[in-house]
Homo-oligomer: A and B are copies of this chain.
Amino acid sequence: MSWNTFGRVLRFTTWGESHGPAIGVVLDGCPPRIALSEEDIQPFLDARRPGQSRFTTQRQEPDQVRILSGVFQGQTTGTPISLMIENTDQRSKDYGEIAQSYRPGHADYAYDAKYGIRDYRGGGRSSARETACRVAAGAIARLIIPEVTITGWVEAIGTSAIDYARFDAGQIRANPFFCPDAVKAAEWEELVDSIRKAGSSVGATVMCRAEGVPAGWGAPLYGKLDADLASGMMSINAVKGVEIGDGFAAARGTGESNADAMAPGAGGAPEFASNHAGGIAGGISTGQPVDVRIAFKPTSSILTPVPSITSTGEATEVRTKGRHDPCVGIRGVPVAEAMLALVLADHKLLHRAQVAKR
């Protein structure tokens, strides 16, 4: 994990700014002879793409991905896979006024404090547009772990949480909220609409689950599967919290309430009575579903004026009038899924490096 590179043996490096000519990602370490074309990647980008409903930003980007290297005659060659997405809808004029003042809650001030310069157009490098690159890389990661099924959903928008009694995975793609609870999805239409009309924003909690992960991926102590997941998820724009399994709820319980009893299972693997651990013990997968929950803060781009300062240190107020997501957590679902796929694929390769196939 370096500045703009994530991963250990399956590594990706992203580049590009919100309003530059393009953004892109180079994925290195991919196993050879995996069938791959743009069609394997595009559906995931489409799922994340803005402008598809009134509940996300109205920025219109086709987000067409192009494979520039690493694939020959329809198969990966083991060399770096370079993916590029052109930026087509760059309304720089929207951002003119923030050139001189810091948007509270955004990275504007921090970037300037660090680098003494920032590309203020659309947040530049700090824009969530970068997450398209993760989604593209994640689509390839999924092909490396065909044994694993990854599913993400929105668990709550603001204080409005789904009811797990109504959980239906088939609903997730059937509404614009990645919501597995049809009743709640209907409620969220109204909720998010009112937020959007008010020029406000709201946070969200996203849950991601990987089924089919065999026991044994991950490694003590600083290569723990959960440590890498925490790093990868926390690196997503607007994420402020990460939980594995029961997370903070586990901290409120006892050893008895948190125990995951085991019994002899089919095929030699144990059968677990519960999954408080979220599929990871001691940093290593147990064979249960890997559960990760992440908290997206409400975007700071709101119509309500917030006191701030200019880049020369004077008092000002900032109101954000650009095209923004009322709830960035919604489009965070495909991003979180991609990060989960990327971490798991990396650990699959790492596991066979040290232990080989057993």
Contact = CB atoms under 8 A, between A and B. Distances in A.
Interface in A96-144: 102, 104-107, 109-111, 113-119, 124-126, 130
A109 B270 contact: yes
A41 interface: no
**Which of A20, A68, A156, A307: most chain B Cβ within 10 A?**
A68
B254 A104 contact: no
Given A24-B82, A241-B241, A255 B13 contact: no
A254 B194 CA distance: 12
- Per assembly, the copies of the chain total 4
Interface stretch (A44-52, A166-174, A220-228): A220-228
Interface string A251-276: 11111111111111000101001001
Given A259-B306, A352-B352, A72 B222 contact: no
Given A106-B281, A302-B259, A307-B273, A219 B358 contact: no
A5 B315 CA distance: 44
Given A77-B117, A253-B203, A240 B82 contact: no
Contacts of A314: 264
Contact of A205 (B242, B243, B251): B251
Interface stretch (A57-65, A145-153, A176-184, A291-299): A291-299
Given A3-B222, A243-B240, A110 B282 contact: yes
A81 B13 CA distance: 11
Contacts of A329: 251
Interface residues on A, range: 35 or more
A104 B260 contact: yes
Contact of A28 (B2, B241, B243, B283): B2
Given A156-B252, A231-B231, A246-B297, A258 B107 contact: no
A300 interface: yes
A56 interface: no
A322 interface: no
Contacts of A17: 69-70, 72, 79
Nearest to A298: B255
A350 interface: yes
B256 A304 contact: yes
A13 to B, nearest CB: 5
A95 interface: no
A100 to B, nearest CB: 14
Given A4-B220, A72-B118, A356-B357, 14 more contacts: A3-B28, A9-B9, A16-B80, A72-B119, A78-B117, A104-B261, A110-B216, A111-B282, A200-B255, A227-B230, A240-B250, A243-B295, A250-B297, A356-B356
